[in-house]
Amino acid sequence: MKLWSDTEDFRRKSMLLGPVFLGFLILLSPWLGEIPRQARMIPFLVSLVFLGLPHGAMDHLVPSRLSEISRKRGVLDVSLLYLFLGGLYGLVWFVFPVASLAAFVIITWLHWGDGDVYAVKKLWPGDVYTDRFTAAASGLLRGGIPMLIPLVAYPDLYVGFLESVQSLFMSSTGGFSVLYSESLRLAVLVLVVTLALIHFLYIYVASGRVPAYRISEISVLVVFFLVLPPVFAVGIYFCLWHSVRHLCRLSLLSGSSRQALEKGQHRAYLYSLLRDTAPLTAVSILLLATVTFSLQGVDLQGFVALYLVFISVLTLPHTALILWMDRVQYG
């Protein structure tokens, strides 16, 4: 059985995987919503080795595959980028943990939105964002849904997890009581609806139509984060939506994975992907394990909180690299 027939089929299926899987989980939400708290963290634990963490483990190869930069120079440049931005952000976490947490939410919002917009451009040929305003509006909407809708639907769980992250750096937690405000949550919901209306209205004015798949994608995202617990939903989205689309976008760059795609060699493609992502994924897991074992009394929720802090340190340089990638590919 062929997973895809050609490169165009690969693009199409890459875009459909997330909405289809999330839609299936929406149907199961009456049962999934009742799963135990610890079981809700399974998607994040799986993301350590499957799609989530590995999706950034090809960053060192991006410069050489996207430009005339040599592989050696590209690896050096990306390493320095991670050491500087990641190291700086890690230090800021210890000094200003609450501000660092807020910054992580904002960076993730912008990165996931930007990643989705450019995935649409690259993986859905023939229907691209034609100007910066449309792209920006779509990015704010697409990235905002995973960050904002869980606050509207599950304020207790949302705040509880923020406090578990905060507790890694502070003996006492708190300061998030404003997030329980019904007025604030209503304002957040109004913001999401407004972004959606601006997004769809501008597309309609610019092209005379709104593609059905765009409406269905946004609808699936909103409903998914409304009906499923935040940690579970965000973990699933991280793996099967954001990471899949990013890895597929990278696969279309020059290199052995692109060659295997064009030849329809499924095993060669998967092997190439594994070979490119496994080394830095292993290094990252080793670093995370070292930090975890250096701490005492870290339970499962504490580990996931620590994992998110670890991801945040990697996300800042990763986002900077992807912004460069966007400019090179699309100007």
Average pLDDT over residues 254-269: 74
Average pLDDT over residues 235-246: 92
Close Cβ partners of 30 (under 8 Å, ≥ 6 residues apart):
none
How many CA atoms does the CB half-sphere of 136 hold within 13 Å? Answer: 3
Instruction: Give the chain's domain count.
Output: 1
Q: What are the tokens at 135?
A: 């792209």
Does a structural domain hold residue 285?
Answer: yes
**What per-residue confidence (pLDDT) applies to 253?**
78
Q: Where are the alpha helices (DSSP H) in the chain?
A: 7-27, 29-32, 42-46, 62-66, 71-81, 87-95, 97-123, 132-153, 155-166, 182-207, 212-227, 230-237, 244-251, 256-263, 266-294, 300-330
Does a structural domain hold residue 29?
Answer: yes
Does a structural domain hold residue 292?
Answer: yes
pLDDT digits (tens, 9 = 90+) for 117-134: 887 776 665 555 556 777
**What per-residue confidence (pLDDT) applies to 11?**
77
Buried b (16+ CB within 10 A) or exposed e, 312-326: bbbbbbbbbbbebbb
**What per-residue confidence (pLDDT) applies to 123?**
62
Average pLDDT over residues 156-163: 89
Does a structural domain hold residue 114?
Answer: yes
Over 70: is that where the pLDDT of 5 sits? no
Average pLDDT over residues 222-247: 93
Does a structural domain hold residue 1?
Answer: no
pLDDT digits (tens, 9 = 90+) for 49-76: 888 889 888 898 888 888 888 889 989 9
**Least confident segment among 3-7, 14-18, 228-232, 304-308:** 3-7
How far is it, in rounded angstroms, from Cα 277 to Cα 61? 10
Band of residue 318 on the pLDDT scale cut at 50, 70, 90: very high
Of residues 144, 138, 135, 160, the one with CA closest to residue 107: 144
Over 80: is that where the pLDDT of 257 sits? no
Does a structural domain hold residue 2?
Answer: no
pLDDT digits (tens, 9 = 90+) for 281-294: 999 999 999 988 88
**What per-residue confidence (pLDDT) applies to 273?**
84
The percentage of the chain sitting over the pLDDT mark of 90, rounded to a whole number, equals 37
**What per-residue confidence (pLDDT) applies to 2?**
64
Are 135 and 326 contacting, i.e. CB atoms less than 8 angstroms apart? no
For residue 65, give its domain range: 7-330
